[in-house]
């Protein structure tokens, strides 16, 4: 008998569900209309005062059994869903988010070299440019393996003001000259938007570092350059923060953004940071931008570079970044994590089962 | 004109809002009826197959503009709200959560000493019992300051199997004897439910350590003892995890639970863990159980013990736990964080502006 | 001239370096002698009172320029190095740590199936046993793909005491019967050491869950069983904590331990936990035990299961654990992360380029 | 007999200890000499090539029992200690670190109002300037309570480029005008160094936000302004990172820096971030700069504002920052964490037992 009773009650619930469904969709259509009017009026979709007013009305009319708190929570979800619908219609959501499964941003360099088109790209070079000899030795070795993207950092963001801060524009000139010699592209970090014009003559791809990931002025300036931009995830940023940072660049006019995951800060002490491999999987799934994994700054140690490189490739990243130095123990920064040239060869041997990285 | 149009559309939305409100509450009443039938039938409220069926129905009937995904998300919120209502009615929510602002669990010891009644309680003693002399010296000094709760650990949970694991039952016997001498209560950690009967003769308050916070078998066993239980937050647990762990004890029959916050694991390296002071504020606000702050295991260093003790008191905790050892540098465990006896005096001088800790 | 002066000063430093080197090694030989005497006396190597005495002596004799603090810090390093040497000689360091590059623990099951011998093992099954039908359907599908290890959980550790806690011993009996039918091995979680004898008749591999990783009583009990043990990393544990937990089991007599990485708690919100892929690389490098990656509890979402599985394989893990349920949306626990049977097939198709998982 | 033997061996160790002590100090004196020569030569103290050479020498001469690895680790500690000594002598260590117990940086405003001199300062205002009316209402209420520091943000760093970014320079002009009316000081965030001159006319104290904490170009620019600077800890920064960021400003010429702790990112979900109360204690202990606690951005919820404010005061902070808005539910940003004006009064009632905040 209880079973029959249950059946009857459930069929009443089903009926109410469908009525709520109908009202929700009618409400969504009205919200969509309102959105269009707001666009004509030039106001934003989000109107907190109006929301507060609606919540107050509901609270006044609510006789339970749901508490006012519950009712308000449910309606806030409805408001959020309506807002999302309006925003979607207005600008088809966030630009960096994938709309269809086969949407892919491909970065094409002047000679046709691509990032994000299916091949696994390698970006490498020393932590910072220290001298012509140093970077020439590394660049030559990398170029011989078909690596086309040279890490050529003139400025080094450092925690302490007393640590080596890079050779500045001189370092960048060295990187340019060496890259030209070996037919490579220079990737170099920009630390402030005042450096844009000065750097533009020497740089093929701008790099925005982890410490500047949320520097909206710099991000907007990167929306104005003609070069592609590599954006590094801050060690304190969520995936969502990271995608919004990329959105600043893309929304400012530059669609050629590459995302680089470099580890987040956690309680683990055996690695400098924790490489967030799931973030690479999620970034590839949710965004159409190319994604690269940095195994040097995440691990902070070179002894696990090979397995991490394999994991980065296997999870579906478009490329790999690692630091390489002719003599890591005497490097002026990040000595523990840079690979020596023989270690670089060993790593590339392992990840290039196909000949794609090799010219 | 757009303004008029907006006004008209908004009034239609208001109307729909009220219809949805009415349907939600009717739905809630039906769910409540269903809950009662389910109780008679002895089934659980949560019925995922039924939910899946309702979602399928809604998906079939949905013509947009809300996507199926949005509709399902909104209805899942509605299901969750209904379920919460049913559960609330059935058992008035989670037992450890405060229902009214003035609800407070007060722990009363045999001689009338209380924890949670407004005074600021102090629990102290060495990290572990090492010898009669060691604990007697500390206990004597603490008792002279009016401290009534002696940390008397027989077993020490240790990360490495090769570290000192405590004197076991012998340590507990020593703690009992010393506590009796100084008119103190013994608080001692239980590491496995097989030790309950053996420990019961010596212990006034059972202590469940951070490593055992999610050991549901031990928690349920703690629901069966006559002594109060101090439950320590694991360094990896959220506040919600912590409250649910307490719920295991209370739901198993023992209402006398004291919560102790001891720091969570974060990326910060200058402290062993990060004392989560907001957790103390939230635990006091959300739960009626007494809350104590442990400034030794959180900081892992003694030099900031005094400011942390003041913060713990100021934020509204019911008490403080710190380790105290006659000769910290030679302690068999946690040497860096235990206070010496003079340091203990200095700390108590600072936090006992009133004479409440003193008998 | 400054150059000559520098040269001269440096040669004096070189000379002192060699004298210090000689003294350090002489000191190490003495410490080793002392260690042998201590072993005869049955005392521990670590003698904090003796260390305190030596530090006091040094402080008294120190005239700078190094501060007492620096001198004490340097000597504490020397003490630690000596202690490490003694301990190494006494028990050849921690048992679970690899001594040579080719040291590998291989788990061999009664029919010769191995974990850790080079093949990539798959462990799968539902989050918990819910019914004969449920687990039989999954087990049949898995067995058809050559999967030999069935997740057959009778008990489910849950955050809330009101959540489904598993069918207990009945669930385990069901798992046994189904595993026998499909020629599989049962892996099942033990939640308390009191269950050892009861479970032993039904279980082929014991599973120690994340919540019990630091339960030393249970770990020691696992040292006494004849079956292999899978030990799961707690979401709050460092790699070092994890290895020490394994050491408890091995030091208690059971060398057949498998490590399973399942994600750590971080600030990232798009995944339930953060799969620590570097931890797998480091565990494989530092320990000889087999290592498995759990992609269900780490991600907490099924949509990135395939890329994560590939990463786990590529980084060098010995196997993979994922949850699989005939109808994930209605699963009684972990609904969002369990794979359906078709999803399981898709995943196995991707990671079994060779036919190794297939019988 | 073993005891005698032990005694004899230990006395030999004591003898060697003193010889090592003597050599370490002789080595330190030589390193100090070398440091002076290097300063004359204009080279840096840290010379990795020289260190590599010394390590190679030691490795060649080492015959054990200490392994080469141990010897190198010990000598790296000695090198580090020598380097620290040289650096200390050269520039008396890091400028922001306290050298003596009574060293305190006090910020003195034009009318003599001070931060860091012992009184507990309050900084408050809305999250961002939205209109004259909004900030005037808040400023008036705050001024009536004796609060002198008005949060007057023209620019708002936001995660999403589509969120409200502030009124810019117009907002700042409004803040200035309102502050003048109520005799308050304007504190306002600078987001890029290009804004320095534009903002200087309106701002009494520059604010560097969490997202810019590691923006070394901006930090150096802040070293050149005449106003004091409030530097906010990034949610991803360690205490050490934070102090080095302050060092950039101080080393660039501006000694008037105020540190503000605002919570770090952890796995806890009931608060937006975790207020790191121990960091305040450590910053006060290790640095001479004033330290302020931000209870709005750390908690992300207003309901625990009062206990957190009490904790911040009790732990020894020099001041408190909280957001206050005339109508929090409709605030354009951070609606959940801003206090209403009555809530502000309740909070100030609780923390101003003395009349210090009141003029």
- Structure confidence at residue B116 (pLDDT): 97
Helix (H, G, I), strand (E, B) or coil at B4: helix
Please report residues of C whose CB lies closer than 8 A to that of B252.
Answer: 161
CA C211 – CA C235 distance, rounded (Å): 8
Q: Which chains touch A (3 or more CB pairs under 8 A)?
A: B, C, D
All residues at 6 or more sequence positions from C35 whose CB lies less than 8 Å from its CB, including other chains = C45, C86, C89, C90
* Pairwise pLDDT comparison (D331 vs B274), residue with the higher score: B274
Instruction: Give how far the C-alpha of residue D279 lies from the chain's centroid of Cα atoms, to the nearest Å.
Output: 9
Q: For residue D33, what is the nearest residue in chain C, using CA coordinates?
A: C9
CA angle D35/D40/D44 to nearest 5° reads 50
Domain segments of chain B as ranges? 2-91, 107-351
- Average confidence score pLDDT of chain B: 89
Q: For residue C214, what is the nearest residue in chain B, using CA coordinates?
A: B211
* Pairwise pLDDT comparison (C20 vs D347), residue with the higher score: D347
Mean pLDDT of all residues in D54-66? 84
Per the CB < 8 A criterion, the answer to whether B152 and B143 are in contact is: no
Q: For residue C22, what is the nearest residue in chain D, using CA coordinates?
A: D62
Task: Give residue-wise pLDDT tens across range B158-211.
Answer: 887 877 788 899 999 999 999 999 999 999 999 999 999 999 999 999 999 999
User: Is a pLDDT exceeding 80 seen at residue D62?
Assistant: yes
Helix (H, G, I), strand (E, B) or coil at D341: helix
Per the CB < 8 A criterion, the answer to whether D188 and D223 are in contact is: no
B238, B268, B316: residue with CB nearest D269: B238
Chain A residues within 8 angstroms (CB to CB) of chain C: 236, 238-240, 264, 266-271, 274-282, 284-285, 298-299, 303-304, 307-308, 310-316
Which string of b and e fits B187-203 if b means at least 16 CB within 10 Å? bbbbbbbebbeebeebb
Please report residues of B whose CB lies closer than 8 A to that of D316.
Answer: 307, 310
Confidence of residue C54 (pLDDT cuts 50, 70, 90): confident
Task: Give residue-wise pLDDT tens across range C240-277.
Answer: 899 999 999 999 999 999 999 999 999 998 899 999 99
- Structure confidence at residue C166 (pLDDT): 85
- Structure confidence at residue A20 (pLDDT): 86
Mean pLDDT of all residues in C306-328? 95
Please report residues of C whose CB lies closer than 8 A to that of A316.
Answer: 307, 310
User: Is a pLDDT exceeding 50 seen at residue B355?
Assistant: no
Q: For residue C49, what is the nearest residue in chain B, using CA coordinates?
A: B330
User: Is B217 close to C192, i.e. CB distance below 8 A?
Assistant: yes
- Structure confidence at residue D93 (pLDDT): 57
User: Is a pLDDT exceeding 50 seen at residue C357?
Assistant: no
Task: Give residue-wise pLDDT tens across range C72-102.
Answer: 878 888 887 777 776 665 545 578 988 888 8
- Structure confidence at residue B345 (pLDDT): 97
- Structure confidence at residue B359 (pLDDT): 36
User: Is B27 close to A9, i.e. CB distance below 8 A?
Assistant: no
Lowest mean pLDDT among A264-268, A336-340, B260-264, C304-308: A336-340
Mean pLDDT of all residues in C270-294? 95
- Give the residue ranges of chain A where pLDDT is below 50: 91, 354-359
Helix (H, G, I), strand (E, B) or coil at D109: coil
- Structure confidence at residue B161 (pLDDT): 80
User: Is a pLDDT exceeding 60 seen at residue D356?
Assistant: no
- Equal CATH topology for D2-91 and D107-351: no
First CA to last CA distance, chain D: 76
- Structure confidence at residue A45 (pLDDT): 64
Q: For residue A34, what is the nearest residue in chain B, using CA coordinates?
A: B6
Count Cβ atoms below 10 Å from residue B110 Cβ, excluding itself.
7
B12, B66, B81: residue with CB nearest A66: B81
Q: For residue D78, what is the nearest residue in chain C, using CA coordinates?
A: C74
Confidence of residue C165 (pLDDT cuts 50, 70, 90): confident
Lowest mean pLDDT among B230-234, D64-68, D180-184: D64-68
User: Is A48 close to D248, i.e. CB distance below 8 A?
Assistant: no
Count Cβ atoms below 10 Å from residue B133 Cβ, excluding itself.
11
C-alpha distance from D353 to closest chain B C-alpha (Å): 13
All residues at 6 or more sequence positions from C1 whose CB lies less than 8 Å from its CB, including other chains = none
Task: Give residue-wise pLDDT tens across range B89-116.
Answer: 554 557 898 888 889 999 999 999 999 9
- Structure confidence at residue D283 (pLDDT): 96
Mean pLDDT of all residues in C301-327? 95
- Taking the alpha carbons of A157, A158, A160, A166 in that order, is the dihedral positive or negative? negative
List alpha helices for B150-266, DSSP H.
Answer: 169-181, 196-200, 216-222, 239-251
C-alpha distance from D306 to closest chain B C-alpha (Å): 8
Rounded to 5 degrees, φ, ψ at D98 are -70, 135
CA angle C311/C313/C319 to nearest 5° reads 130
Task: Give residue-wise pLDDT tens across range B116-164.
Answer: 999 999 999 999 998 999 999 999 999 999 999 999 999 988 887 877 7
D269, D285, D304: residue with CB nearest B281: D304
Helical (H) or strand (E) element with B77: helix B68-91
Mean pLDDT of all residues in B56-83? 82
Lowest mean pLDDT among C67-71, C78-82, D39-43: D39-43
CATH superfamily of the domain spanning B2-91: Chorismate mutase (1.20.59.10)
CA A187 – CA A179 distance, rounded (Å): 10
A25, A37, A58: residue with CB nearest B17: A58
Per the CB < 8 A criterion, the answer to whether A302 and A316 are in contact is: no
Q: Among all chains, which residue has been given the structure tokens 């592209």?
A: A185
Please report residues of B whose CB lies closer than 8 A to that of D267.
Answer: 236, 238, 264
Pairing label, strands B107-108, B114-115:
antiparallel
Give the long-range contacts of residues D84-91, CB within 8 A, separation 24 or more: D84/C70, D85/C65, D85/C66, D85/C70, D85/D28, D85/D31, D85/D32, D86/D31, D86/D32, D86/D34, D86/D35, D86/D45, D87/A162, D87/D45, D89/D32, D89/D35, D90/D35, D90/D39, D90/D45
CATH 3.20.20.70 fits C107-351, yes or no: yes
CA A255 – CA A276 distance, rounded (Å): 25
* Pairwise pLDDT comparison (D38 vs A111), residue with the higher score: A111
Please report residues of A whose CB lies closer than 8 A to that of D221.
Answer: none
C-alpha distance from D282 to closest chain B C-alpha (Å): 7
Mean pLDDT of all residues in D166-177? 94
Please report residues of A whose CB lies closer than 8 A to that of C277.
Answer: 275, 277, 308, 311
- Structure confidence at residue A118 (pLDDT): 93
Please report residues of D whose CB lies closer than 8 A to that of A212.
Answer: 214-215
* Pairwise pLDDT comparison (D48 vs D342), residue with the higher score: D342
Confidence of residue D88 (pLDDT cuts 50, 70, 90): low
Burial class (CB in 10 A: 0-12, 13-18, 19+), A145: middle
Task: Give residue-wise pLDDT tens across range D112-159.
Answer: 999 999 999 999 999 999 899 999 999 999 999 999 999 999 998 888
- Structure confidence at residue A14 (pLDDT): 86
User: Is C266 close to A271, i.e. CB distance below 8 A?
Assistant: no
């Amino acid at each position: 008998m209880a079973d029959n009773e249950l059946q009857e009650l459930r069929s009443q619930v089903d009926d109410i569900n469908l009525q709520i469904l109908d009202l929700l969709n009618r409400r969504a259509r009205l919200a969509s209309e309102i959105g269009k009017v707001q666009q004509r009026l030039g106001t934003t979709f989000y109107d907190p005062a109006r929301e507060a007013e609606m919540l107050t009305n509901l609270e006044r009319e609510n006789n339970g059994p749901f508490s006012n708190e519950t009712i308000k929570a449910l309606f806030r979800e409805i408001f959020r869903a309506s807002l999302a619908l309006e925003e979607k219609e207005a600008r088809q959501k966030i630009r960096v988010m994938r709309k269809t499964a086969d949407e892919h941003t491909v970065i094409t360099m002047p000679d046709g070299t691509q990032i994000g088109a299916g091949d696994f790209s390698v970006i490498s070079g020393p932590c910072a440019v220290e001298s012509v000899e140093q970077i020439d030795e590394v660049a030559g070795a990398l170029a011989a393996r078909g690596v086309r993207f040279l890490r050529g950092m003139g400025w080094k963001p450092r925690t302490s003001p007393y640590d080596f801060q890079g050779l500045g524009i001189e370092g960048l000139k060295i990187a340019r000259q060496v890259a030209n010699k070996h037919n490579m592209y220079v990737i170099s970090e920009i630390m402030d938007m005042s450096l844009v014009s000065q750097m533009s003559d020497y740089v093929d791809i701008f790099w925005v570092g982890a410490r500047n990931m949320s520097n909206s002025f710099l991000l907007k300036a990167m929306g104005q350059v003609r070069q592609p931009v590599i954006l590094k995830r801050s060690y304190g940023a969520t995936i969502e923060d990271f995608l919004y940072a990329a959105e600043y660049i893309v929304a400012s006019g530059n669609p050629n953004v590459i995302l680089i995951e470099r580890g987040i800060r956690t309680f683990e002490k055996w690695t400098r940071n924790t490489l967030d491999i799931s973030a690479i999987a999620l970034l590839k799934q949710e965004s159409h931008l190319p994604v690269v994994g940095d195994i040097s700054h995440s691990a902070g140690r070179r002894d696990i570079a090979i397995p991490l490189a394999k994991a980065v490739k296997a999870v579906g990243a478009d490329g790999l970044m690692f630091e390489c130095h002719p003599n890591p123990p005497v490097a002026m920064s990040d000595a523990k994590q840079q690979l020596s040239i023989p270690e670089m060869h060993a790593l590339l041997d392992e990840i290039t089962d196909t000949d794609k990285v090799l010219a």
